[in-house]
Structure 1
Amino acid sequence: MNTEQVITYIKENSIQKVKFAFADIDGILRGKVISVQKLMDGLQNGIGFCDVVFGWDSTDVTYDNVQLTGWHTGYPDKQCYIDLSTMRTVPWQDNIPFFLADYTGPDNKALPACSRSLLKQIAKQCTDMGYHAEFAQEFEWFNFNETPQTLQQKGFANMEPLSPGMFGYSILRTSQNSAFYYDLFNLLTEFNIPIEGLHTETGPGVYEAAIAHSEVLDAADKAVLFKTAVKEIAYRHGIAATFMAKWNQDLPGCSGHIHQSLWTKDRSENLFYDDKDVNKMSELHKQYLAGQLYCLPHLLPMYAPTINSYKRLVEGAWAPTTITWGIDNRTTALRVINTSKTATRLETRIPGSDTNPYLAIAAALASGLYGIKHKLKLDTAPTIDNGYQNKSNGSLHASLYDAATAMQQSAIAKELFGEGFVEHFTNTRLWEHRQYAKSVSDWELKRYFESI
């Protein structure tokens, strides 16, 4: 809907309140329910929102190492702007109208910490270069017969999975929880997050969903909304869903793979496809892929933003550890899918389900465009065997600290996203490392309590 259509819809349906939210640096939706009058008043000048939402971490603990906001600024309001084109109704909440917002003002100046604003800038660069970017993110996540209260009572230990055993692609297991399973598919689709496929993955209580592809910003919006929507639908069934990258060392991790391709502006031609090439890859596709390979060491925290992300990025765990690419090879960081002219695309396999989709997708698109702008050559051969063993082009950083430090010092990262964003984002990641470094884990207690 455009602005006029949204306003007409609200008036004709006598709507009294709406809901809106925006994503913080971790991709967590922060929002409010507001009156329709408040919505109308804020369309031009924005709606004030305390900027502490960009000054604290995922547990609402305030950072001590960022300059954008803090005790030194008094945590003032910053104006956020509702994007009326994102309107949808929430079918499991009495169809209340819902909108996404960001921190890009009418003058196109944006708050450096706003991830949606950042992706909008990269998407505009893509459009200005003459391309239409088509994206989709897919997610794996684990489900438990728990509630927020029981999780706290149990101290996040001895949790009961939704179903036992390793049942990937199981018809049997989904029939046991069919009300939840079909609610996910049906309600997400009603929420304008169309699902291409939904199935169990291998592991107790784990599902995977592929979201239908769309224009890049719309795809990221759907990915951000998907994670919160799944959790809300799960709550209705007495189920707790987690998008941690790796919740258990003995089980597979949860991916958040990104599928992408560039098309002509009228969407009539897939510019990644070339029938004459041995791998069906156009020169543009090769440059885009080369850009991602080149930029990957500089941008890894945007794909792997938490301490837990790096527990998933280990050998033999269906997640990459090396800077590699291949044709339909699931052991490499980048997987080329070339099954048909319309389906040819690149899959970036580094992200886990714990990503902020706006940042992960911005990293993928910006680095691909970097390769095109600089006409980078794809001078490494595709990996045709075990990508874990191919370290000829280097390996991924093994920890959040190493990855964040490299990004903080990277001229490439600052060129792509600006110094303001890089400084703020990497400082939040280094804060995350410091919180982990001073914690005492169950592993340490079990290993050292008696024996040392």
Structure 2
Amino acid sequence: MGKKFVEQHGLWSDVQRAAALEVLARIEKEGIQIIRLSWPDQWGLLRGKSLTVEALKSAFASGSEVTMAPFLIDTASAIFVNPFVQGGGLNSEDMSGIRNLVMVPDPTTFKVLPWADRTGWLLADLHMRDGRPFPLSPRAFLKKALAKLSEKGLTLNAGLEVEFYLTRIVDPCLDPETIGEPGMPAEPPKVMPIAKGFSYLLENHLDEVEPIVAEIRSHLLTLGLPLRSIEDEWAPSQLEMTFDVLPGLELADTMVLFRNAVKQIARRRGYLASFMCRPAIPGFFPSGWHLHQSLADSTTGENLFVPKEGEPISDLGRAWVGGLLEHAVAASSFTTPTINGYRRRRPNSMAPDRVAWALDNRAAMVRVIAGPGDSASRVENRVGEPAANPYLYLTSQILAGLDGIERNLDPGAPQDTPYLADVQTLPINLSSALDELENSTYFTNAFGEQFIHYWIKLQRSVWERFVAAEGNVDMQTQDITKWEHREYFELM
């Protein structure tokens, strides 16, 4: 009998093979009946199948086949190319005819979902049927970028600091005329805040939301996620959660699980959690995702961003910052992939509007938090939105930082007043962000022409739908549109 798919193509490490045995033992011990096998799509949303235990055992050997169709749809489930022409509308024979892919479980990601009845959870990597990695897989891009770091003896450590909204559903909007169609998202539920706002970090606001937040907190900790803090943010029902530092791939996997967990736990209790940047609800302000980053020696674990006396950050850290600044505008559609995310880019708002770095200054895009002898020395990129795909966001940071290291890019002097700095501004909408990416030879080479062509074509289709419905909207001054709210509030 020949080798099965996973062994035939050498898709598991020794660590994964050992983890698979542990997973099966735990499934039997805990009476797990169903396992959700999921992969992150182009938006960072999880898609997949629920497998019985016997089906999972088969997938551990042969993988589990699934359609590539979700990669051909945008955020409104509109098919943005004709997959039945030669090259699938993307000039790639791999994309012709909506072919099957093979989901290969990653046993090291196994969790038991404490809110779901006897249910396990696993992430999968996507492969073509001949064993090649699926060329549009976001998780594969991050693995490749981390491998480039590893070749230099470097490990990326990163921390999550994520803002989001938690609201109470007052009308689920399930009437037939509200459920939408491909290209027109369903009307999102009507909601109300669960606490008042604008008294930043007020303990009483945290206590008001304690009943539902306590349940979310309990399940996150049971999952083993390294939750550090829960904070009352600026706007009504706006929260921030932070997590301990994690290595690169684990951080991205944690982000997709965290978002899914919060949304699912909340919905079961009649609440809606949204990671949309700025919902079209009076009094709601933008949410951000601040990504803390540092590099460590792969052998010793030493933080290589720790500065010497009199320095803001180490020489390696300076070069990394130089790369982040150099490629910030071209990376914009990865750090801020939704049309609504550009609502954050306003001066004097504690969100960056230009390409600047500074020392412990929340007006800057890159904020340096470091000191001699401080093993937690790091940089914080404040540009991202909470709906960003964590794999593409992190990949763009690694590729930019690596270029900074390889070319020893100098970020210049830190800015004392970032909002007044005479430096390049960040793209003010998704269309201009895509223009910058299209002009980036570096990212085209680093990601590959096939993916960049795909990403731009996909995102242009969303932008064109928006303009057709709303016209040319100034994202910095005009009101949030109903189109944005319908497109993102429930989905993200």
TM-score by length of 2: 0.84
Distance 1:302 1:443, change over 3 A: closer
> How do residues 292-307 of structure 1 correspond to structure 2 at under 5 angstroms?
292-307=324-339
Match of 1:74 in 2: 97
- The answer to whether structure 1 residue 40 and structure 2 residue 70 are counterparts is no
Alpha-carbon contact 2:170-2:192 (below 8 Å) kept: no
Alpha-carbon contact 1:79-1:103 (below 8 Å) kept: yes
Deviation sequence 1:104-124 (CA, Å, 0-9, x none)? 579983222211111111111
Query: What is the CA distance between 1:253 and its match in structure 2?
Result: 0.6
**What letter is aligned with 2:386?**
S
- Please tell me the root mean square deviation across aligned C-alpha atoms, in Å: 2.7
Counterpart CA distance in 2 for 1:68 and 1:170 is 54
- The answer to whether structure 1 residue 223 and structure 2 residue 223 are counterparts is no
Match of 2:20 in 1: 3
Match of 2:77 in 1: 60
- Which of residues 337, 346, 356 is equivalent to 1:314? 346
Alpha-carbon contact 1:220-1:358 (below 8 Å) kept: yes
> How do residues 141-290 of structure 1 correspond to structure 2 at under 5 angstroms?
141-146=164-169, 149-150=172-173, 159-248=191-280, 251-279=284-312, 281-290=313-322
User: Where does structure 1 differ by over 4 angstroms across 4 or more consecutive aligned residues?
Assistant: 68-72, 104-108, 150-158, 441-446
Match of 1:449 in 2: none
Counterpart CA distance in 1 for 2:269 and 2:297 is 43
**What letter is aligned with 1:77?**
N
Alpha-carbon contact 1:260-1:346 (below 8 Å) kept: yes
Query: What is the CA distance between 1:28 and its match in structure 2?
Result: 0.9
Distance 1:215 1:104, change over 3 A: farther
Q: Secondary structure, in 3 states, of the residue corresponding to 1:349? A: strand
Alpha-carbon contact 1:132-1:215 (below 8 Å) kept: yes
Distance 1:445 1:98, change over 3 A: closer
Distance 1:111 1:166, change over 3 A: same
Single out whichever of 151-160 and 304-313 deviates more from structure 2.
Answer: 151-160
Counterpart CA distance in 1 for 2:28 and 2:128 is 26
Alpha-carbon contact 1:54-1:69 (below 8 Å) kept: no
Alpha-carbon contact 1:21-1:31 (below 8 Å) kept: yes
Alpha-carbon contact 1:81-1:105 (below 8 Å) kept: no
Match of 2:109 in 1: 86
Single out whichever of 130-139 and 151-160 deviates more from structure 2.
Answer: 151-160
Query: What is the CA distance between 1:307 and its match in structure 2?
Result: 0.6
Deviation sequence 1:289-315 (CA, Å, 0-9, x none)? 101111112221000101101111122
Distance 1:359 1:376, change over 3 A: same
Distance 1:187 1:265, change over 3 A: same
Query: What is the CA distance between 1:444 and its match in structure 2?
Result: 11
Query: What is the CA distance between 1:193 and its match in structure 2?
Result: 1.6
Alpha-carbon contact 2:75-2:462 (below 8 Å) kept: no
Match of 1:335 in 2: 367
- Uncovered stretches (5+) of structure 1, i.e. residues with no partner: 447-452
Counterpart CA distance in 2 for 1:176 and 1:150 is 26
Distance 1:371 1:328, change over 3 A: same
Deviation sequence 1:423-448 (CA, Å, 0-9, x none)? 111211111111101114896999xx
Counterpart CA distance in 1 for 2:224 and 2:479 is 43
Q: How many residues align?
A: 442
Counterpart CA distance in 2 for 1:52 and 1:205 is 36
Query: What is the CA distance between 1:343 and its match in structure 2?
Result: 1.1
Counterpart CA distance in 2 for 1:29 and 1:389 is 40
Counterpart CA distance in 2 for 1:95 and 1:313 is 44
Counterpart CA distance in 2 for 1:261 and 1:444 is 35
Deviation sequence 1:76-127 (CA, Å, 0-9, x none)? 2111211110001101113521101122579983222211111111111111
Distance 1:68 1:169, change over 3 A: farther
- The answer to whether structure 1 residue 390 and structure 2 residue 406 are counterparts is no
Q: Secondary structure, in 3 states, of the residue corresponding to 2:331? A: helix
- Which of residues 394, 399, 406 is equivalent to 1:361? 394
Distance 1:236 1:69, change over 3 A: farther
- The answer to whether structure 1 residue 422 and structure 2 residue 452 are counterparts is yes
Single out whichever of 404-413 and 145-154 deviates more from structure 2.
Answer: 145-154
Match of 1:349 in 2: 382
Single out whichever of 342-351 and 184-193 deviates more from structure 2.
Answer: 184-193
Alpha-carbon contact 2:169-2:271 (below 8 Å) kept: yes
Counterpart CA distance in 2 for 1:306 and 1:253 is 13
Match of 2:430 in 1: 400
Counterpart CA distance in 1 for 2:321 and 2:136 is 27
Counterpart CA distance in 1 for 2:30 and 2:302 is 40
Alpha-carbon contact 1:104-1:117 (below 8 Å) kept: no
Distance 1:120 1:107, change over 3 A: farther
Distance 1:85 1:157, change over 3 A: closer
Counterpart CA distance in 2 for 1:313 and 1:107 is 44
Counterpart CA distance in 2 for 1:229 and 1:395 is 35
- Uncovered stretches (5+) of structure 2, i.e. residues with no partner: 1-17, 83-88, 179-185, 472-477, 483-492
Distance 1:10 1:325, change over 3 A: same
Query: What is the CA distance between 1:34 and its match in structure 2?
Result: 0.6
TM-score by length of 1: 0.91
Deviation sequence 1:177-219 (CA, Å, 0-9, x none)? 2121212222111112221111110111110001221110000
Counterpart CA distance in 2 for 1:109 and 1:123 is 19
Taking every aligned residue pair, what percent have the same amino acid on both sides? 25
**What letter is aligned with 1:397?**
P
Deviation sequence 1:229-269 (CA, Å, 0-9, x none)? 11111113211111111114854210011111111114531
Counterpart CA distance in 2 for 1:32 and 1:56 is 18
Q: Secondary structure, in 3 states, of the residue corresponding to 2:38? A: strand
Single out whichever of 436-445 and 83-92 deviates more from structure 2.
Answer: 436-445
Counterpart CA distance in 2 for 1:103 and 1:189 is 28
- The answer to whether structure 1 residue 99 and structure 2 residue 132 are counterparts is no
Query: What is the CA distance between 1:415 and its match in structure 2?
Result: 2.1
Counterpart CA distance in 2 for 1:409 and 1:115 is 21
Counterpart CA distance in 1 for 2:258 and 2:152 is 30
Q: Secondary structure, in 3 states, of the residue corresponding to 1:262? A: strand
Counterpart CA distance in 2 for 1:330 and 1:208 is 16
Query: What is the CA distance between 1:356 and its match in structure 2?
Result: 0.8
